[in-house]
Structure 1
Amino acid sequence: MVSGLFWLVFLLCNSFILVGSLNDEGSALLSFRHSIQDPEGSLSNWNSSDENPCSWIGITCQEEKVVSVSIPKKNLFGLLSSALGSLSALRHVNLRNNKFFGSLPIELFHAPGLQSLVLCGNSLSGSIPPQIGNLSYLQALDLSQNWFNGSIPTTLVQCKRLKSLDLSHNNLTGPLPIGFGIGLVALEKLDLSFNKLNGSIPWDMGNLSSLQGTIDLSYNFFSGPIPASLGHLPEKVYIDLSHNNLSGLIPQNGGLVNRGPTAFIENPGLCGPPLKKSCSSYTPGVNAPSSISNLPDNFPAQTSDGKKGKRRGLSKIAVIVIVVSNVCGICLVGLLLSCCYWRLCACRKGKDEGSDNVEKGSNECLCFRKDESGPLSENGEQYELVALDTQVAFDLDELLKASAFVLGKSGIGIVYKVVLENGLTLAVRRLGEGGSQRYKEFQTEVAAIGKIRHPNIVTLRAYYWCVEEKLLIYDYIPNGNLSAAIHGKAGLVSFMPLSWSVRLRIMKGIAKGLAYLHEFSPKKYVHGDLKPSNILLGPNMEPQISDFGLGRLANITGGGSATPPSNPMAFEIPQQQQNAPTEIITTSSPLISGSCYQAPEALKIVKPSQKWDVYSYGVILLEMISGKSPMVQVGTSEIDLVKWIQLCIEEKKPLSDVLDPFLARDSDKEEEMVAVLKISLACVQTSPEKRPSMRHVSDALYTLTTSTN
């Protein structure tokens, strides 16, 4: 009796153990959960006491086998565990818009039946493993909006069932894999935009006959001619080749006919319809790019007389001369770095006395003291002029011996206009004297800013660091800032308002620069303090965005507040006074002067977002359209420009009441003005989610017909 009872209890206990024992797939998923953080408790019912994971949130099973892991937008944070690869029946993975980082685990590609892999909107990095070619059943791959680098693996063309491929908004480089168009003929969606892909567009891309919607290759470095085979794609497919380095005649066949110009813009070498750029340099049948578009890059073109044409470009001798010259230049700069320890120009006696003289705007040389305490090697400090551009053709000795004029003073140091002996003009910002313990941080930050290269963004050419001096050297932009161009300069009677065509060209340039910062720069930056005084105008009134990253540098050096002040090069010297002493212009507090351009959510959220810049850009558009100041006088009170425009719309005032009166002479462009007004209103939406991206804004502006030449 007792013995029977014992065995009954033993069997019952063992049965409970069996029921409560989690299977291998559940254990693998628990391993995945333990490797990440789940701040929202989205995986709270993932319990080890369950028999299997089939009832867990985000898990789908068939015949008690996990076939789907779908946990999007839950703020999951951590490395992507390799445990997912042990789910033998796994078909679908959707972890989009979380905070996963690190590289893709190779084990993930050991699930042979995987059909969809969606990891967009995370912070994953590293290269895409070549093992992706093992996924012969893969139909959807979305790795967009991450930090993947390296080239697209050649094995990807083995995924012949692939229907949707989105690798946009990464840092991928190199050419497209050989056989891309032949191997992936099932593709219905293709988006490779906003990467650094280069090389020619493969001729076999025309075989992607299943494509639907858009084939997006924009914002890359593709070069060479457009293959005529792209005309074989279905006519309903929109082809976006904008913002590349493509060249030659745009083929006029099949689906390429009757395309709008936005599909081809920002390819300096492209010509022919629909662009307003003739192909006078091409003779049909002789050297028209469409006739050689299917040849490899190294295939010599045949001229009309049957002889091989020479490839255009620098000769070997020219390349050698350039390389040797650069090496010699670098060596020369290295020899001159020792000059950094000595006072290289005469200043007035005493540091304090010298500062007083500078603030009076006298025409003095730009000078600074040698650090008396010697180099602080333990802090990694270096007393040298660090070039951030290979084209920097001056050294520290030349810079400090140059004539310098005070341009202005704001919350972040004094700004000088510096004219070298060879006539080169620079703008030099003098930062604070603090931050001696943060050299490495400063070095990293300034190096990142120095990598930004765009025709609509002011270029930081070099910097200097020592205990008592921190200098930032920029291009000098001669035509002042946008604020002065819209409203005139204080104290100057003469004022020539901008025409509509010039205003539209400026609007487009600003949009292009911001779109680059947001989506194509190395770190997808945010400006955070965009306003007309931070937009400079070049010799041909081309806009250049300035003050990018200045607030961060000022924090490191102790040179100012977190919010960047007015532009370092915004205090231009009138042409007739360039060789005369200039009175310092002291700007108002950035928190006051820039508040009209700040997005509403900026008062509540500390970390700036790209949508902040979109709002600021919208206010600038309204200012350019209306000619009004950011604060508008209404009766006895002032309201900001956005509210004033909204008030005009509510009261159904005529368009003439909103537009700048000086634009009346461009009455034939009223339709464009209304279109820009609509774009600006979309940008200043109260809800950030409702504002468009700067890329979409830029594209919308380029559909307008006014010439930018």
Structure 2
Amino acid sequence: MHTAHPHHHLPLLLLLTLGRVVAADTQLKTLLVAIFVIVDALVLLILLWTIYVFCRRLKAKETGKENPPPGEVNEKGEGVRCEEEEEDAVVQEPGKITFAKDGGGFGLEELLKASAEGLGKGSFGSCYKAMVDDARMVVVKRLRGVGPVTKEEFLKHMRSLSAMEHPNLLPLLGYYYSSTEKLVISNYACNGNLFDRIHGKIADLSSKPYETGGGRRADRIPFSWSSRLQVAQGVAQAMEFLHLNMRSSVPHGNLKASNVLLDESDKPLVCDHGLVPLIPASLAVNRMVCYKSPEYQHNRSVSRKTDVWSYGCLLLELITGRVAATSTPGGVRGGELCHWVNRAVREEWTGEVFDAEFLVHKRATSGMIMLLKLALWCCEQSPEKRPEMEEVAREVERITAGETDAEDD
């Protein structure tokens, strides 16, 4: 049998060897590519996780809501006082009430557990009377419809309002912010609000809005002229203070009888001021007094003179004892007192506009006439024709002084 020479197979062996090397090299390259892909994927995941954690911490820092580690959250809800932080560095600890300088003494958990009594529903939330410290009465307003403001913006605005101190402004004790709950806490005014004081707390005022004394309860405490004049002066001074110390184009924006509270001596305390920046325009237009003014109805504009118009409407309600359309709660029909009183003056039956409850011998005094004229001046259709709030306060002061001198004589 013929045997092939080894040298004849050398080229074939070289080809086979080269093929194995190439195949091995291809597998090696595939393995290296796979390793690089896995490493790149891991690096990319680590990078994405780092960015995610950084963004969460940055967002938490901006909103003041960085979540503490488990076990470190104070669940007692103890109150903390506002210290002298920088103007732009308002901080509130999770689950805690921020107190003004005269507040404090109770925590959120204690407040939520306190026995509460509903006081009614206002334009922007319900109010509750609660007893804390076993004897102290406070009012908690649950704000509803607050606009898309951040926690920092809300706390800064509340801090600014709590700094407004005047004998005729209801002091702000504290406030609380969370994504689902916004609370404003103040002292309880034992004599209720001005609307109930004038018209009676449980009154059927829906049928005859202009009838003096219509619907008033028989056991209602009479509201004397001197007490009404005291209210007119106190509210004027509070409004003057707001106009001098607040930058807002409409410092109050929602002045009406139900937003004037009365303490144990019938001293007026103006409340619910300064909420215009927090309320969305779409909601405020339907619920705030300033948007019922003539200038808004005609030109869709409001200004500081709009507050003057609101004060004039309040004076007319004090003087006539009739329900104003700007002051009506739900289910009560009010009237356009400005038009009604102006017609009475033109037709010379002015004496009939005064509430008979405080008339002495069925006659109006000079102070009553002067206050009526001031009210009509404040209610001028054109804002340019209305006085400034400082001028209004001085005029009411002169009227009050004149009435006091007349009583002394």
TM-score range normalised by the length of the shorter chain? 0.5 to 0.7
Matches for 1:102-251 after TM superposition, within 5 Å: none
Of 510, 533, 542, 2:267 maps to 542
Counterpart of 1:504, as a letter, is L
Partner of 1:447: 159
Of 224, 244, 254, 1:519 maps to 244
Paired with 1:389 and 1:524, the residues of 2 have a C-alpha distance of 27
Paired with 2:127 and 2:279, the residues of 1 have a C-alpha distance of 14
Partner of 2:365: 670
Paired with 1:498 and 1:489, the residues of 2 have a C-alpha distance of 13
Q: Tell me how large the CA RMSD over aligned residues is.
A: 3.4
CA contact (8 A) 1:381 1:439 kept: no
Matches for 1:477-626 after TM superposition, within 5 Å: 477-491=189-203, 492-521=217-246, 526-555=251-280, 561-562=283-284, 590=287, 594=289, 598-606=292-300, 608-626=302-320
- Alignment of 1:706 with 2:403, yes or no, is yes
- Alignment of 1:647 with 2:372, yes or no, is no
- After superposition, the Cα gap between the structure-2 partners of 1:630 and 1:431, relative to the gap in structure 1 and judged at 3 Å, is closer
Partner of 2:127: 415
Partner of 1:680: 375
Paired with 1:343 and 1:393, the residues of 2 have a C-alpha distance of 12
Paired with 1:689 and 1:343, the residues of 2 have a C-alpha distance of 50
Larger Rg: 2
SS of the equivalent of 2:156 reads helix
More helix by share: 2
Q: Percent identity?
A: 32
Partner of 1:134: none
Paired with 2:307 and 2:362, the residues of 1 have a C-alpha distance of 30
Matches for 1:286-365 after TM superposition, within 5 Å: 341=75
Partner of 1:468: 180
Paired with 1:623 and 1:532, the residues of 2 have a C-alpha distance of 8
Counterpart of 2:294, as a letter, is P
- Alignment of 1:385 with 2:97, yes or no, is yes
SS of the equivalent of 1:648 reads helix
CA contact (8 A) 2:146 2:280 kept: no
Residue 432 of structure 1: how far off its partner (Å): 4.3
CA contact (8 A) 2:146 2:279 kept: no
- After superposition, the Cα gap between the structure-2 partners of 1:624 and 1:400, relative to the gap in structure 1 and judged at 3 Å, is same
Structure 1, gaps ≥5 residues long = 1-337, 345-378, 564-588
Residue 651 of structure 1: how far off its partner (Å): 1.2
Q: Which has the higher contact order (CA 8 A, sep 6+)?
A: 2
CA contact (8 A) 2:147 2:279 kept: no
Residue 382 of structure 1: how far off its partner (Å): 3.6
CA contact (8 A) 2:261 2:268 kept: yes
CA contact (8 A) 2:105 2:133 kept: no
SS of the equivalent of 1:426 reads strand
- After superposition, the Cα gap between the structure-2 partners of 1:463 and 1:340, relative to the gap in structure 1 and judged at 3 Å, is farther
Of 359, 369, 386, 1:691 maps to 386
Paired with 1:343 and 1:391, the residues of 2 have a C-alpha distance of 15
- After superposition, the Cα gap between the structure-2 partners of 1:667 and 1:472, relative to the gap in structure 1 and judged at 3 Å, is same
Deviations 1:371-390 (A, max 9, x none): xxxxxxxx987432111224
CA contact (8 A) 2:234 2:268 kept: yes
Paired with 1:434 and 1:518, the residues of 2 have a C-alpha distance of 23
SS of the equivalent of 1:474 reads strand
Number of positions where the alignment pairs a residue of Structure 1 with one of Structure 2: 302
Residue 666 of structure 1: how far off its partner (Å): 6.4
CA contact (8 A) 1:460 1:474 kept: yes
Counterpart of 2:345, as a letter, is I
CA contact (8 A) 1:381 1:466 kept: no
Paired with 1:410 and 1:621, the residues of 2 have a C-alpha distance of 21
CA contact (8 A) 1:434 1:467 kept: no
- After superposition, the Cα gap between the structure-2 partners of 1:497 and 1:524, relative to the gap in structure 1 and judged at 3 Å, is same
- After superposition, the Cα gap between the structure-2 partners of 1:554 and 1:524, relative to the gap in structure 1 and judged at 3 Å, is closer
CA contact (8 A) 2:106 2:133 kept: no
Paired with 2:92 and 2:396, the residues of 1 have a C-alpha distance of 47
SS of the equivalent of 2:184 reads strand
Residue 590 of structure 1: how far off its partner (Å): 2.9
Paired with 2:315 and 2:245, the residues of 1 have a C-alpha distance of 23
SS of the equivalent of 2:357 reads helix
Paired with 1:528 and 1:461, the residues of 2 have a C-alpha distance of 21
Residue 671 of structure 1: how far off its partner (Å): 0.8
Of 114, 117, 130, 1:402 maps to 114
Paired with 1:507 and 1:541, the residues of 2 have a C-alpha distance of 12
CA contact (8 A) 2:316 2:337 kept: yes
Paired with 2:145 and 2:354, the residues of 1 have a C-alpha distance of 47
- After superposition, the Cα gap between the structure-2 partners of 1:590 and 1:562, relative to the gap in structure 1 and judged at 3 Å, is closer
Residue 606 of structure 1: how far off its partner (Å): 4.8
Paired with 2:284 and 2:381, the residues of 1 have a C-alpha distance of 24
SS of the equivalent of 2:283 reads coil
Counterpart of 1:640, as a letter, is E
Partner of 1:36: none
Residue 662 of structure 1: how far off its partner (Å): 1.4
SS of the equivalent of 2:396 reads helix
Paired with 2:309 and 2:147, the residues of 1 have a C-alpha distance of 33
Paired with 1:700 and 1:380, the residues of 2 have a C-alpha distance of 43
Residue 426 of structure 1: how far off its partner (Å): 0.6
Residue 680 of structure 1: how far off its partner (Å): 0.9
CA contact (8 A) 2:325 2:335 kept: yes
Paired with 1:380 and 1:621, the residues of 2 have a C-alpha distance of 40
Counterpart of 1:645, as a letter, is V
Paired with 1:617 and 1:436, the residues of 2 have a C-alpha distance of 30
- After superposition, the Cα gap between the structure-2 partners of 1:434 and 1:689, relative to the gap in structure 1 and judged at 3 Å, is closer
Counterpart of 2:372, as a letter, is L
Give the TM-score normalised by the residue count of structure 1: 0.39
SS of the equivalent of 1:680 reads helix
SS of the equivalent of 1:441 reads helix
More strand by share: 1
Residue 395 of structure 1: how far off its partner (Å): 3.1
SS of the equivalent of 1:408 reads strand
Paired with 2:133 and 2:160, the residues of 1 have a C-alpha distance of 30
Partner of 2:20: none
Partner of 1:629: 323
Paired with 2:146 and 2:398, the residues of 1 have a C-alpha distance of 49
Paired with 1:434 and 1:680, the residues of 2 have a C-alpha distance of 32
Deviations 1:384-437 (A, max 9, x none): 211122453333343233221222234523221011133111100123498787
Structure 2, gaps ≥5 residues long = 1-71, 79-90, 204-216, 327-332
Partner of 1:358: none
CA contact (8 A) 2:145 2:279 kept: no
